Amino acid sequence: MQIPEFFKQMLLTQYGENTTNKIIEGYSKQRLVTLRINTIKADKEKIKNKLQEAEIQYEDILWYDDALIIKNVREDEIKKLDIYENGEIYLQSLSSMLPPIILEPKAGENILDMAAAPGGKTTQMAAITQNKAYITACEKNKIRAERLKYNLQKQGVGCVNVMLEDARKLSDFFSFDKVLLDAPCSGSGTMSVFDNGFSKELIYRSSKTQEELLSKALKILKPGGEMVYSTCSILEQENEGVLRKVLHKFGAEIIPIENIEGVPVLHTSIDGVMCVAPTDLYEGFFVARIKK
């Protein structure tokens, strides 16, 4: 697989030769299909029975009871199942399941999801809280916002208010207990990005947008509140670099994320944050837990 030379040089500078080679090897592997059981509508035993009836092999995940790895079919086969059609499962990468788990949303909390579509993490937070949190989901793109609404309805989510809005433009009078900012990024943690206009300019533009979104998040997060900042990038410029530029302005601090068994990680230049390595099970991903 060919990756752009400028990007390879960025990886070499940040990670060194051995790790860069492992990252490039990780990109080239076909990721196994993974799904999340939607506990608003179904339980694990029912889903496992349905998969067995369809002769679909699966494996549990050590760190998340509601996730399964599919061993012998691709997504197209899963989409033919009633449990998919009914919204009892949600096809989602393991890496993208991490931010809601690390945020630990609770019933009764007022939570903002700043870049919510298509709704994987939004519906996951609703499921974790059994539809008992108050979630505001922002999406600036009308078509993507409609997709978000469709997924919320399909998953039986009743605790989410969708706002068709660029989260950077939210009023500073808002106040939230928790914020999830899964920020738009270059996508450098995923192989598919290299077919899709990946460039130095995209990385630069992404980091500027990320700084603006994180600044807004910290303005409207209650004092003492917590947030998660995540990207599907493995580049310091979009991850630790953004945190360094923004956190000190708001008196915010990193809450260390404990090691999660089985999740492959890359070295980070800030202690307590997590950068997931791309493998056959995980896409490259960055997560930081922040307290104001």
Residue 58, amino acid: Y
Nearest to 241 by CA among 231, 227, 251: 231
Whether 232 sits among the annotated catalytic residues: the reply is yes
Residue from 138, 159, 185, 232 carrying the catalytic annotation: 232
Q: What does the alpha-carbon distance between residue 285 and residue 190 come to, in Å, rounded to a whole number?
A: 9
**Number of other CB atoms surrounding residue 257 within 10 Å:** 17
Residue 205, amino acid: R
Q: What are the residues whose beta carbons fall under 8 Å from the beta carbon of 85, sequence distance 6 or more? A: none
Q: What does the alpha-carbon distance between residue 139 and residue 263 come to, in Å, rounded to a whole number?
A: 29
With beta carbons less than 8 A apart as the criterion, state whether 181 and 226 touch.
no
Tokens of 188: 């450098």
Nearest to 180 by CA among 254, 105, 235: 105
Residue 219, amino acid: K
CA 154 to chain centre: 20
Q: What does the alpha-carbon distance between residue 179 and residue 221 come to, in Å, rounded to a whole number?
A: 7
Catalytic residue annotation: 232
